[in-house]
Structure 1
């Protein structure tokens, strides 16, 4: 019987024998490339929203930053459940290449999990305005953020469904379609946002002038569009139709759904611990005024954009490690992890250099620096971007380590590492420096750096310990 590739098709014969490290590098780049571009395209949607909101004014940008923070802390929690789809499918395919039933059942459980968690999260987001007012945010900011959220929240469910389906396609090494859907949604979001948010002008005479609500409505429309497009592709692609991914989608599988929740809940907690660190910072910045909050929004967007690359590498590492783990190949697990870590380290080092050398140019991408109302933002944003450069490498390393460990289906210990590092060290230290010492936003960013460095170091140690044990096990064969 001929060897099969991951999708169950005959492998190409006569290919030259490659060295394992080179083969792994090529496989990781081939898989991570589309995943990185998907992340960049999806974050491009966020950055486009930030740019449009910044053009509406610093006040609108500050209010939307508070809303985005709450939205994405819950969205990241939802992603924690849907992200289990990729390692579970990869591990199953590592054991038996070309299997169809576990792929279909796992995706179905992931989509059910996304639905079950999206409904209560959207209900909570409806009360964003009162929640922000209750914790002491300025009333005008809280009211504006709440009005914006009542539009934006409707993107939650389709966006989580998209993430679950994207995970299945990544495990099947078919991420290109998710990339195409994300790229198609980006210009739609920008065009709709400009049309809906801004009043009519010579360039766009039919502008509706809905302000922040227009930006939110464009985001919701783009989320639905990308999901519908990806579903249509899955139904039409002959290499994906064989899996019948949506067959009996309504069936409730409590056994597999329970496995998704057992594996995913620690990932949820890990994501919430990190996202909560940044959201706590945004809320704290709001107490120091719109200038520091706007500068924080700029610096966070730049850091988050750079983070999309190691995050995509981490997603690829989850699949690569999951395949090796499924066939009990300890050397393959170690090799996949090292290749992914090396790629993240190199890229984030380059990003840190750019942030240190061109902070004004980067800030100008988000704010009109010639506007008098933004004059005080640039020096603060420059300092915050400098802090972002300091933690860039640690941020990339911890992301890839989490991806590698998820490929090993190890999620509980990383959860405690993240909770301890971010909330046991980062938040208390940032609060002490911001309010106790009087460093304000600069103290908060110092807490960022400390928490990320500690988490990255502990996760590397955890990965080394687990892979040392796996190296002693014989491989079970396979791809």
Structure 2
């Protein structure tokens, strides 16, 4: 067991040891999506726009179900700190149950994806390509949720290296399959956006196989799949109660960006494609903050399990400062090199290249403004999840994103005529409000639970 009075350098080392592999794993996972965006951007702008809106729809649905998987982390971390292997198994098994049930329920509506996209005002050509993409990628929903649950289980037990290497391996695999199937290289058929979809499904299934195999071989003491079909109502309810607010919180934030993609589609296809590129860049840096947040959840959960408020407070400060420092660096890069970063995603021979790079660069500069507040709000969420506090943060996030952020985006973009740039400025407002409210909630809960003076 850790010493109660760990120093800040010890916390830095502990957060780095846990957080760095998680960050690299998240970046590798994101590289799969980044590869799709880059290769489809080089294929043609319409395919890029279609994958942007289709990926947005899929992501919104996915992150709600991922809440059940994320609930596994603090519960397993706390149980592991107490040495309760049976509880670890029960929590993870019910997390897998909820993930599978959710995946089955949300698959059906995607068969009418084209009609849904046209109904929300998307271009007919973009909607048709997005429909092709979604008819394939929807089949990765259940495997992807299983992967999320197993990652939460392994993260809570601090078995991080397998997550990193499995994700790096599948990211490389995705690149090769994309290159073959999108463009028709190495004798493969040229499938365009369908090829990207097939690659995504393939690597997700491979990820499931790797994580299941590792769990069975390296962690047999947990007997994770023993009596898998046996129900456990008590733990099912507990995971559900903790997980649904996490899912809805993620929906509130992800939905904010998804709604912004829909509104960007109202402005034009070029703006939507530029939005997709800027989102990819902002999301890449966000993977680092998610890694710190995940590390904070694990360490907060373990500190809670051993009732150690000093480690909880110092660990929280450490993770927040480390994430904030990285945010300052990326903000500077976004401000200094916006055109160069956007140009990496666009074919030099693309007729709309100059316009696309110009619009995308504006959005990247604005993205620099919300690096710090975005880092702060996701770190606060991670710490609160470690404290198993998810319901009130869900309300705070929803108000910040949807009552304040989204209306601000609409007003700035359409009423004041600032277009794509105005739409993104509204996102900054919503994230800033969320960061203040959620940080305040964490410190209040810490002082309240442990009577810290």
TM-score, structure 1 normalization: 0.92
Counterparts of residues 293-312 of structure 1 (less than 5 Å): 293-312=272-291
Q: 1:189 matched to which residue of 2?
A: 174
Would the alpha carbon gap of residues 55 and 360 (structure 1) be closer, same or farther in structure 2, given more than 3 Å must change? same
Deviation of 1:282 after TM superposition, in Å, equals: 0.4
**Post-superposition shift, 1:168?**
0.6
Alignment partner, residue 79 of structure 2 = 92
Q: 2:203 aligns with which of 215, 222, 225?
A: 222
Deviation, 1:125, is 2.2
Q: For the Cα contact (< 8 Å) 1:81–1:264, is it kept in 2?
A: yes
Per the alignment, residue 79 of structure 1 pairs with 66
Q: Which residue of 2 aligns with 1:175?
A: 160
Cα deviation, residue 451, structure 1? 0.2
Name the residue aligned to 1:477.
Answer: none
Q: What is the CA-CA distance between 1:370 and the residue it aligns to? A: 4.4
Which residues of 2 match residues 68-467 of structure 1 at below 5 A? 68-94=55-81, 96-97=82-83, 99-199=84-184, 204-237=185-218, 240-467=219-446
Q: How many Å apart are 1:471 and its aligned residue?
A: 4.2
Q: Please list the CA deviations of residues 144-179 of structure 1 after superposition, one character each: whole Å capped at 9, or x if unmatched.
A: 111111011111111110110010111111111121
Question: How many Å apart are 1:19 and its aligned residue?
Answer: 4.6
Aligned residues, how many? 453
The question of whether the paired residues in 1 share the 8 Å contact of 2:73 and 2:298 is answered with: yes
What TM-score do you get using the length of structure 2 for normalisation? 0.97
Q: SS of 2:14's equivalent? A: helix
**Residue pair 1:184, 1:226 contacting (<8 A) in 2 also:** no
Of the candidates 28, 32, 51, which is equivalent to residue 38 of structure 2?
51
CA distance in structure 1 between the aligned counterparts of 2:110 and 2:65, rounded to whole angstroms: 14
Query: Are the aligned partners of 1:196 and 1:207 in contact in 2 as well (CA < 8 Å)?
Result: yes
- C-alpha distance in structure 2 between counterparts of 1:339 and 1:27, whole Å: 10
Spell out, residue by residue over 1:428-477, the C-alpha distance to the aligned partner (whole angstroms, 9 max, x if none): 11111111122221121011000000000111111111112244379xxx
Structure with bigger helix share is 2
Name the CA distance, whole Å, in 2 between partners of 1:254 and 1:53: 45
Contact 1:115 1:157 in 2 (8 A): yes
**Offset, 1:92:** 1.6
Aligned match for 1:468, one of 398, 423, 447:
447
**Deviation by residue 1:192-241 (Cα, 9 ceiling, x = unmatched):** 11111113xxxx3413101100110000000000110111111112xx11
1:12 match? none
Kindly indicate whether residue 47 of structure 2 is the aligned counterpart of residue 60 of structure 1. Answer: yes
Which residue of structure 1 lines up, in the alignment, with residue 28 of structure 2?
Answer: 41
State whether residues 11 and 318 of structure 2, in contact with CA within 8 Å, keep that contact through their aligned partners in structure 1: yes
Rounded Cα–Cα distance in structure 2 between residues aligned with 1:168 and 1:365: 36
- Higher mean C-alpha deviation, range 443-452 or range 21-30: 21-30
Q: What is the rounded CA distance, in whole Å, between the counterparts of 1:235 and 1:251 in structure 2?
A: 19
Q: CA deviation at 1:107?
A: 0.7
CA shift in 2, pair 1:436/1:473, >3 Å: closer
What are structure 1's unaligned runs of at least 5 residues? Answer: 6-15, 475-479
Shift of 1:315: 0.5
> Contact between 2:67 and 2:247, CA under 8 Å: does it hold in 1?
yes
Give the equivalent residue in structure 2 for 1:10: none
Offset at residue 17 of structure 1 (A): 11
Offset of 1:424 from its aligned partner? 0.6
Decide whether the 8 Å contact of 1:88 with 1:106 is kept in 2: yes
Displacement of 1:373 in angstroms is 2.7
Distance 1:246 1:177 in 2: 19
- Structure 2 residue runs of 5 or longer lacking an equivalent are none
Question: Deviation at 1:58?
Answer: 0.6
> Which deviates more from structure 2 when the two are superposed, residues 465-474 or residues 427-436?
465-474
Contact 1:369 1:378 in 2 (8 A): no
Q: Would the aligned equivalents of 2:373 and 2:432 in 1 still touch at CA under 8 Å?
A: yes
8 Å CA contact 1:44, 1:186 repeated in 2: yes
